[in-house]
Amino acid sequence: MTKMDYLKLLVDEIHSTTVATISLDGHPQTRIIDMMYFDEEGVYFLTAKGKAFYDQLMDQQYVAISATKDKIAVSLRGKIKNIGKKNLDIMFERNPYMKKIYPGDTKEAIEVFQLYEAQGEYFDIRNLSNIVRDTITIGKVEAFQTGYFVGKDCIGCKLCYSVCPQKCIDMSSVPVVINQNHCLHCGRCAEICPKQCIEKRG
């Protein structure tokens, strides 16, 4: 799947997401926010200017987003910006229920925010014996791969494979290779490695 496939999944199929900001007391605060629109430049959502959520967005200019449906999850975290009324009419057309929440000119209270620079993950556990994960990036972000990586001191003993729930370690070469798109990040391989050469990143 491509970045646009993941964004389409987030906006059109999952739609309602959990968005985290930091509240006035310094602790995380979450809200359920609908993702209204996406394009090559990011994901778009909106809120009313009178809300505390709006103030947090303007102050922090950063969010974390999580969403799940039918054993598929999408998470993103990154930079946002207020783009005013840009795309507002498109968002109302694509999400006609908004016209009932904000009828007529009452939508003047709303402004649009764009998630324009972010990294996150797609995670699919529909097939429990063969999970799938992938990295998602938006904008000028260099993808940082998290997980477990085998170092050059590997001796090919196969102990890591023996404890891997997904059997996602390629034993055909030494050092062995962990398939990052199927790894659960459980860490059992690193715990059992006799050479302690499996590195956790991220």
DSSP labels for the chain? --HHHHHHIIIIII-EEEEEEE-TTSSEEEEEEE--EEETTEEEEEEETTSHHHHHHHHH-EEEEEEEETTEEEEEEEEEEEEETTTHHHHHHH-TTHHHHS-GGGGGGEEEEEEEEEEEEEEE-SSTTS-EEEEEEESS------EEEE-TT-----HHHHH-TT--EE-SSSS-EE-TTT-----HHHHH-TT--EEEE-
What pLDDT, on a 0 to 100 scale, did the predictor assign at position 144?
A: 82
What does each C-alpha distance from 123 to 70, 80, 141 come to in angstroms? Answer: 11, 23, 20
Same domain, 153 and 133: no
Shared-domain flag, residues 86 and 181: no
Same domain for 160 and 115, yes or no, is no
Task: Tell me what pLDDT residue 186 has.
Answer: 97
Give the pLDDT score at 202: 82
- Judgement on whether residues 152 and 96 belong to the same structural domain of the protein: no
Q: Check residue 174 and give its pLDDT.
A: 97
- Both 49 and 117 in a single domain? yes
Joined tokens for residue 137: 């990036």
Q: What is the CATH number of the domain that holds 46?
A: 2.30.110.10
Tell me: do 165 and 128 sit in the same domain: no
Residues 31 and 93 in one domain: yes
pLDDT of residue 79: 98
Q: Which domain holds residue 124?
A: 3-138
Residue 68's pLDDT is 98
Total domain count, the chain: 2
| Average pLDDT per 10 consecutive residues for the chain, totaling 202 residues | 96 98 96 98 98 98 98 98 97 96 95 98 95 95 89 98 98 97 97 98 87
| Domain shared by 120 and 154, yes or no | no
Residues 161 and 103 in one domain: no
